[in-house]
Structure 1
Amino acid sequence: MDRGSGLSRLARGVATVVLDALLPPRCVTCDEPVDRPGSLCLQCWSGLTFVTRPLCAVCGDPFETAPPGEPVCGDCLATPPPWGRGRSALRYDDASRPLVLGFKHGDRLHLASLLAGWMRAAGAELMADADVIVPVPLHRWRLLARRYNQAAVLAHALGRATGIPVSDRALQRVKRTPSQGRLTRSQRARNVQGAFRVAASRRTEVAGRRVLLVDDVLTSGATAGACARVLLRAGAEAVDLLTLARVV
């Protein structure tokens, strides 16, 4: 063992012990004491519901029991979304909401690697085929107010973990739309019409490539659908969708 590297690891270990003694690690959701920084307490962890199989092969919506034949839900059979496969790590519910919103609005960017790890597990088959990762963009005025795009933070965490390149400027939000929060499904779809484009100077970053579109929460699919259509029109070979959480 190199003496210098051994001393460096020892120094980091001592610093960690001292820091934990002065500022004990807390649960990232409820602030209860935990064993190590960036983790959840047992109660918050046990409350999370991860999206697991059986699920719809197209949108990733979980089934209570495995259906016979091709596992595609009724909504996707009736109106197929423009992306090929969709996957999500968590159900967006009362247990996961504080975690997701804390990351999205509360500057808890230190959670990115933890959350991206869950997304990697949920979307392993998608990431195996992906040539480039593209986050759903924010309009420039919303980005200025929020100071960061949570989808881009997740995309870069995924890129660092997998080596897949991230193109966070190819897809642009050119129309400032109202919040989708209180809108119906049809209103959401109308709200994002014409809201996105692929920058002409960056079409080569998506053209002919399998794109992994990344966002924080999938609700109606209107935003992801609008982004996927724009990417396909720009020449993307295929678009898959990976989100941290989804409404079930």
Structure 2
Amino acid sequence: MLIANPHGHYHFLKGIDPYSCGVVADPGYEIVFVTLRSPTSWKEGFHLIDRHLEKAECDRTSLCSIQLRCPAPYPMQGFIDFNETYCQVLKDWGLYLDDLNPLARTNVSPAYSPPTEPQMHAFGYIVKAESDQVKPSLVVAGAGELRDGVLDEAGIICRGDTSPEAMRKKANYVMKVMETRLDGLGARWDLLNVINVYTVYPIDGFHEDIILNRLGPARRMGVHLHDTRPPVEGIDFEMDMRGVNRELVM
């Protein structure tokens, strides 16, 4: 069920404490998605976001999406511990809606040249749409093969198995999550402009039938494959998606 965030001018799908499952801008508003050319530490990244929002004449509550990069996949408890610190920043900013975190998030670990500390990679925020004809914009949060999104190692699909058949099962589960979240946001495949896959394992044995054939009109946008691990040890495949009209690199 979509939950309104009236201060941020967007709706979100309830997730778990570290993140929501996705966000969609309200009518008359749109998401601006910003990727940092030179990532910075995640805490300094929030200062950067603060300065950017002030310059754009946007409130902090307009922040709706975060992308992080971590040095290596965390043990499950380490991931939980990091999330507590991260969520406290969001609470200090006044971004929680009652006890719910409305921001979508992706947090993954690059296999090539990983950072030495968690870094801010990208963020999205809400602005007034430039025209009444603007298409809906949305961000689907990152998800790996973790059943029901519950932070418990027992819920990892085919844990410890990265054989081609196991990777197919993992990818199929994650694609179902993407489909469910897209539907939950009231969105369509033709609205998407970026579809990301995060894994260090080959996908050529299943990318056609498990991923591409299910993208509908979004298939023409292609899939961005990142040589990157999900943020928790034992999770091997992750995806996120977005459909925005304005992308910035800074």
Q: Tell me, yes or no, whether TM beats 0.5.
A: no
TM-score using structure 2 length: 0.31
Flag the structure with higher strand content. Answer: 2
Q: Which has the larger radius of gyration?
A: 1
Higher RCO by CA contacts (8 Å cutoff, separation 6 or greater): 2
TM-score using structure 1 length: 0.31
